[in-house]
Structure 1
């Protein structure tokens, strides 16, 4: 390749395009023609041409200048492009394009999509939470039990993973009831336990403590009487 041509190609440079624009433009009801025109405006602004003519833009596209003018007007009416008027330091009046309305709409749409995704994820997690409880209890939950679950999530702000961990703790302890699980969650919150690892270590320490205590009791009781190590959260 001719070095001069290669250098010219390098000197053309690059423009920064937010990837969010490419992944979210359909949510803003922007079609492909409009998208390319917006990118052309962005290109000119990046290179210091704040107010390219429809003919200049059309030269870079498969549109003629009239179509380009109509598309520009359409994007201005939709609120994606703004024409800003002002005076320079020398008193010369000027006009320039601004894509700030586009970026603002894009940010709003991005936040809205994230909110929808979070809501869908929370809904799925809640559904999984109910399923876990119904599986362990071997029956559908009562309205009161469903309300209790909702209170743990909404009012007490327990993470769903922590609630599932408390359920497992109740299963291991052989005390499968909501009062017992509520007490576990209360104790964990009181002790600042917020992660699964902390909950696991906390339960392990108490079981080790209970095992040690029962071994001492066993030596004091009749040889044929066997004690089972058990940590009763309700006694705390």
Structure 2
């Protein structure tokens, strides 16, 4: 094999490690040297060497054997690595330096970070929701109105996007009051509406039912046959 061919092989030879580990290893409390040792252990595993010794790792680093030993001990104490037993094909038990605990810590950290990010985004959406209400009402919200929005979010678990959709319904219907918006949300929740698309379909269904109903000239003339079959409060017809 000539140098050109070898260069090509070296460039194509794979070494796989999860990208999240590069992103989060310092947050896990790993030093650069410890991270590099873990990469070497991973590489030894790919080569079929399950139990690399400090001497093995030293041969691929500028660190001394004593330094590698110390780092391996610290990695073990912090449970980034562990020694496990593996059954060989001949029935004998072999030892392996496992880095599975590292991935377990990485997974926990990732989900924690994701949860924090989701919480941050949720608070931002809620802040935008309060702002949108003030824009539509053309004034600052009263403490009672802010408490009602908070109840929709925390107690009723309505998505901010759905609450904003209910606000739009109130704007279109020229019913700009919180009682009407609350009735819209109550109707949606009762009918299992959880997305804006579902709300649109439900609204079309209610409007279609309304258009099919016979017109009444006098409320006192309403018979049992004329009473709406649509269950619950019809927020499209509701008053203040």
**2:55 is matched with which residue?**
55
**1:227 is matched with which residue?**
none
CA 4–127 in structure 1, closer or farther in 2 if over 3 Å, else same: closer
Count of aligned residue pairs for this structure pair: 221
Equivalent-residue separation in structure 1 for 2:237 and 2:163 (angstroms): 15
Equivalent-residue separation in structure 1 for 2:116 and 2:125 (angstroms): 14
CA 104–51 in structure 1, closer or farther in 2 if over 3 Å, else same: same
Equivalent-residue separation in structure 2 for 1:168 and 1:86 (angstroms): 62
**2:238 is matched with which residue?**
234
TM-score computed with the length of structure 1 as normaliser? 0.78
Q: How does 1:187-206 map to 2 (within 5 A)?
A: 187-203=187-203
**1:118 is matched with which residue?**
118
Question: Conserved in 2, the CA contact under 8 Å of 1:180 and 1:233?
Answer: no
What displacement does 1:31 show?
Answer: 1.9
Secondary structure, counterpart of 1:156 in structure 2? coil
**2:229 is matched with which residue?**
none
What displacement does 1:196 show?
Answer: 1.8
Secondary structure, counterpart of 1:36 in structure 2? helix
Residue by residue over 1:73-103, the C-alpha shift from the partner in whole angstroms, topping out at 9 and shown as x without a partner, is 2211221111235786878675321112111
What displacement does 1:124 show?
Answer: 0.8
TM-score computed with the length of structure 2 as normaliser? 0.77
What displacement does 1:205 show?
Answer: 6.5
1:108 aligns with 2:112: no
What displacement does 1:147 show?
Answer: 2.3
CA 60–208 in structure 1, closer or farther in 2 if over 3 Å, else same: same
Residue by residue over 1:177-226, the C-alpha shift from the partner in whole angstroms, topping out at 9 and shown as x without a partner, is 1110011112223333332233345446766887899x9x9xxxxxxxxx
* More displaced stretch, 69-78 vs 185-194: 185-194
Equivalent-residue separation in structure 2 for 1:90 and 1:212 (angstroms): 79
Structure 1 gaps of 5+ residues are 218-230
CA 62–173 in structure 1, closer or farther in 2 if over 3 Å, else same: same
Equivalent-residue separation in structure 2 for 1:165 and 1:118 (angstroms): 21
Equivalent-residue separation in structure 2 for 1:130 and 1:68 (angstroms): 56
Q: How does 1:3-82 map to 2 (within 5 A)?
A: 5=6, 9=10, 13-82=13-82
1:155 aligns with 2:155: yes
Equivalent-residue separation in structure 2 for 1:106 and 1:68 (angstroms): 23
* Deviation >4 Å, runs of 4+: 85-94, 201-213
User: When you count helix as a share of all residues, which structure comes out higher?
Assistant: 1
Equivalent-residue separation in structure 1 for 2:136 and 2:87 (angstroms): 73
Secondary structure, counterpart of 2:80 in structure 1? coil
Residue by residue over 1:85-144, the C-alpha shift from the partner in whole angstroms, topping out at 9 and shown as x without a partner, is 578687867532111211111111111111111111111111111111122222332332
